[in-house]
């Protein structure tokens, strides 16, 4: 990872520069639309749908939200390695290669190291392989066999650890001490954040080109470690840019960013069993500085695992694309979270919003997909 003292500032211009740097190595992923999902999202839910049958009778005066929404889906499930993580990994490697003295000092031979349960592991392995740099990847023994196999296929040196973050970090530190490899963290570094932000940058340009010159009103992304959300916030921070929102699972305390946002203090540990496995980590300090301290994210909303399952099924049946649970939390918020939907109604009015939704990845096995949407 390039030294923090040499990293570019966390700005819109730096996201643009990152995009130029990684263009040769990534896909410009497609943007999809859906009349059906627009109509569903723009249809008020019944009181029974919002509160459940037993509680609905206790809410005689409740007025469901009446937003008008037009979705633009940025399909990072079609990105290299099947997730947006490729953007940050390629940017980190390209920045590292340009660090003064790194190559001359034997950095290429020592390689890079990281700890990840899946998508970042695959991304760094591919980025390192592309530049012929050794990659040492620490994965928990509980990681998805699909993601383990994919990471190994890119030539990475795999070491397994316990499932806890502290165990993974300790193993990574030991491998780093043994090899001298440079640590490339999954999300808590400017190079990663700027790379991830290029997805939002592309999305903005693609919508303007296809929407008669009109840009997005807002963008919503999943939030785990916060690299994608903070990067997207930077990509939308130019004058006249769209509002940015985060989305999380609510089950078993997975909504750490939302809770921290409301409290005004970052939550530094999470233990959750949500099906959105890519979002089981807490927000990093550097992403938090963009998300909350600089107020570049307007709000963070959460949905249940059942709502995530329901949304996955809709995406599969209506868009005909494969997404992992983490990828659909933004769409789930727009469909089922009444607080967010009322905000759209109030601020969008009769015209409503053009809402960009980033599908973060599609790395889910066929067997697991069947279980999730059964």
Domain segments of the chain: what residues? 31-78+216-373, 84-183
Q: Is the pLDDT of residue 225 over 80?
A: yes
- In percent, how much of the chain has pLDDT > 70? 99
Helical axes 12-22 vs 227-235, angle rounded to 10°: 110
What residues have CB less than 8 Å from 73, skipping those under 6 apart? 31, 32, 33, 34, 319, 331, 357, 359
pLDDT at 44: 95
**pLDDT the model gives residue 147:** 84
Portion of the chain with pLDDT greater than 90, in percent: 80
Strand partners, 113: 136, 183
Give the pLDDT mean for 305-322: 96
CB of 42 closer than 8 Å to CB of 68: yes
pLDDT of residue 4: 62
Distance CA 326, CA 140 (A): 19
Q: Is residue 118's pLDDT more than 90?
A: no
At residue 84 the predicted structure's pLDDT band, cuts being 50, 70 and 90, is: very high
Predicted local distance difference test score (pLDDT) of residue 228: 98
Higher-confidence residue of 147 and 66: namely 66
How crowded is residue 129: how many other Cβ atoms within 10 Å of its Cβ?
16
Q: Sheet harboring 135-140: ordered strands across?
A: 157-161, 135-140, 112-115, 182-183
Task: Report d(CA 160, CA 150) in Å as an integer.
Answer: 15
pLDDT at residue number 55 = 85
Tell me the average pLDDT across 12-36. Answer: 98
Return d(Cα 200, Cα 73) in angstroms, integer. 11
Torsions phi, psi of 330, nearest 5? -65, -45
Q: Do domains 31-78+216-373 and 84-183 have the same CATH topology?
A: yes
Reduced to 3 states, what is the DSSP secondary structure of residue 230? helix
Which is more confident, 165 or 60? 60
Mean pLDDT of the chain: 94
Cα–Cα nearest to 77, from 116, 27, 115: 27
pLDDT at 160: 93
Fold entry, domain 84-183? Rossmann fold (3.40.50)
- At residue 374 the predicted structure's pLDDT band, cuts being 50, 70 and 90, is confident
Q: Are 274 and 255 in contact (CB under 8 A)?
A: no
Q: What's the pTM?
A: 0.95
Q: Which residue has the tokens 């290669």?
A: 97
Rounded distance, CA 357 to CA 360, Å?
9
- Mode of pairing for the β-strands spanning 112-115 and 135-140: parallel
**Residue 213 to residue 169: CA distance in whole angstroms:** 46
Q: Give the residue with greater pLDDT, 141 vs 302.
A: 302
Provide φ and ψ at 277, rounded to 5°: -65, -25
Say what the pLDDT of residue 1 is.
55
Q: What does the pLDDT average to over 23-41?
A: 98
DSSP secondary structure, 283-324, as one string = PPHHHHIIIIIT--S-EEEEE-HHHHHHHHHHIIIII-----
Give pLDDT, residue 142: 82
pLDDT for residue 3: 61
| Mean pLDDT score, 146-156 | 91
Confidence of residue 5 (pLDDT cuts 50, 70, 90): low
Give the CATH number of domain 31-78+216-373.
3.40.50.1100
Residue 30 is predicted with a pLDDT of 98
pLDDT at 220: 98
Q: Would the CA dihedral through 255, 257, 260, 265 be positive or negative?
A: positive
Digit-coded pLDDT (tens) for 241-252: 999 999 999 999
């Amino acid at each position: 990872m390039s030294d923090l003292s040499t990293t570019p500032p966390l700005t819109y211009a730096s996201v643009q520069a990152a995009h130029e740097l990684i263009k040769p190595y990534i896909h410009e992923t497609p943007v999809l639309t859906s009349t059906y999902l627009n109509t569903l999202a723009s249809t008020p839910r019944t009181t029974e749908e919002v509160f459940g049958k037993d509680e609905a009778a206790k809410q005689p005066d409740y007025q469901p939200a009446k937003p008008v929404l037009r979705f633009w889906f940025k399909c990072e499930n079609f990105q290299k390695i099947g997730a947006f993580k490729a953007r940050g990994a390629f940017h980190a490697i390209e920045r590292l290669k340009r660090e003064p003295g790194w190559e001359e000092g034997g950095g290429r031979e020592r390689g890079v190291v990281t700890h990840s349960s899946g998508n970042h592991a695959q991304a760094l392995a591919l980025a390192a392989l592309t530049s012929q740099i050794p990659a040492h990847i620490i994965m928990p023994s509980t990681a998805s066999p699909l993601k383990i196999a994919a990471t190994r296929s890119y030539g990475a040196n795999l070491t397994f650890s316990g499932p806890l973050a502290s165990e993974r970090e300790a193993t990574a530190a030991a491998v780093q001490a043994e090899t001298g490899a440079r640590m490339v963290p999954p999300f808590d570094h400017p190079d990663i954040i700027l790379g991830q932000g290029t997805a939002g940058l592309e999305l903005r340009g693609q919508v303007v080109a296809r929407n008669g010159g009109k840009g997005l009103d807002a963008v919503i992304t999943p939030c785990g470690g916060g690299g994608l959300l903070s990067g997207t916030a930077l990509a939308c921070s130019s004058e006249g840019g769209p509002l940015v929102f985060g989305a999380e699972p609510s089950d078993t305390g997975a909504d750490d960013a939302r809770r921290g946002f409301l409290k005004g203090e970052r939550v530094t540990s999470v233990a959750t069993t949500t099906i959105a496995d890519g979002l089981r980590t807490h927000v990093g300090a550097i992403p938090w500085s963009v998300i909350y301290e600089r107020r570049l994210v307007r709000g963070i909303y959460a949905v249940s695992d059942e709502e995530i399952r329901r949304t996955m099924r809709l995406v599969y049946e209506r868009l005909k694309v494969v997404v992992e649970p983490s990828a659909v939390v933004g769409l789930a918020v727009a469909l089922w979270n009444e607080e967010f939907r009322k905000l759209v109604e109030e601020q969008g009015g009769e015209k409503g919003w053009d809402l960009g939704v980033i599908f973060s990845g599609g790395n889910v096995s066929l067997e697991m997909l069947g279980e999730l949407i059964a």
